[in-house]
Structures are given as structure tokens and as C-alpha cells.
Amino acid sequence: MARALEGVSQMSTTSAPGTLSHHDLALPVTAGLYHDIQHFLFRESLLLDHQRFEEWTALLSSDAVLCLPARFAREIGVECAAGVEHFQYDRQAIAARFKRLQQGPGSDTGPLSAKTRRFVTNVIVCACDRDEYNVLSYVLVTRSGPGEAQNYILSAERYDRLRQAGRTFKIVRREIVMDQASAANADIDMYL
């Protein structure tokens, strides 16, 4: 909790997308808007858990970027070269990755054979720019493969920038702050 508040208090509306400040928390959003954003996050999780990757990719803006910043990776003991993100994917790279996963060998033990469940909580929505919102959420992901006796569990904070697009939203930027170093080698679906 203290880590989340510290992260929130260090961010501002004029900083990089996907960031929040303690000043942002004073900017209320309507209950309807909050509900719509929360529903969007829940629907996004469902699409990923059910491996509906094309539908999920459609939720990304054309300029979307998803990353695990090196500064956060170092905090959990993952070494990264100076000035380099632990990972950073744009919309095109994510779509290509999903396509490769789907075209891979039809193995019962491959990445797509694992079942995931995402639990999204502690959603905080802050207005930032016209039709754009900074959103902080916690996510708990469980993953189990066929024949595995134990689930793999990871948790993270996510800092999203969402853009209103008609009656829905698009993900413009997502920064993932992992809570454990062992997640650094997980498949991409574990970061989302």
C-alpha cells in the first residue's frame, strides 16, 4: 500500500503517460465514467484469459506502448542495461507476438495451453487530458498449465493511459510494476 501511494504521489499530469500524482486524486470523475473504465478493464482481462487476442489487440490505440520500465525491474532485482526498458512493445510487436504464439506447434505444454485468470482491483481513475484518463490498478494473475499441481501467481501495479473512443476506451500506454523478480522470465501474457 505504501509503495502504491508513494508511486502515485510522485507522478503528475504533466509527466509521462500512465502516471498519476497526489494532485490528480483530487480531480473527481463521475461514477458513470469510473464504472465504464472499470468495466473496460474487466472485459480486457476476460479477453486475455480466454485467449481472444485479436479482440484484445483491437483495444490498443494505434500508438499504444506497453512496458516494464527498467527502473521498476531493478527494484525487484532484474538487471537491465542503462537507459533500456526491461521490455517495451508497441501495438504491432504485440500483435506479431500473439500471431507467432497461435501459429506455434500445437503442444499441450506450450504457452497457449496454460490457463490464466486476472483479478483487477484498487482502480483509481484520474482525468488528465481531454478524453484521456490515467488509471492505476492492481492485478493478480494466476496461471496453471496442464498437469501442474500448483498455480503460478504474480501481482503487479499497472499505470494505464486510456483514451475514450466512442463508447469504449483504447489503451494508449501501460507501465507494469511487478512485485516479484521471478516474473521477469514469464511469457508476455503474464505481463498484461
23-32, 54-63, 78-87, 104-113: which is most confident? 54-63
Average pLDDT over residues 25-53: 91
- First-to-last C-alpha distance (Å) of the chain: 21
Q: Do 96 and 103 touch, CB atoms closer than 8 A?
A: no
pTM here? 0.77
Per-residue pLDDT at 172:
96
Average pLDDT over residues 149-161: 86
Query: pLDDT digit string (tens) for 111-122?
Result: 567 788 999 999
- What is the β-pairing status of strands 87-90 and 115-129? unpaired
Q: Which of 155, 174, 183 is nearest to 78 (CA)?
A: 183
- pLDDT tops 60 at residue 9: no
Per-residue pLDDT at 166:
92
Q: Which of 51, 54, 192, 56 is nearest to 113 (CA)?
A: 51
- pLDDT tops 80 at residue 33: yes
Of residues 40 and 175, more confidently modeled = 40
Sequence-ordered list of residues with C-beta below 8 angstroms from that of 108, at least 6 positions apart, any chain:
146
To the nearest whole percent, how much of the chain has pLDDT over 70?
66
Strands of the chain, DSSP E:
60-68, 87-90, 115-129, 132-144, 152-165, 168-178
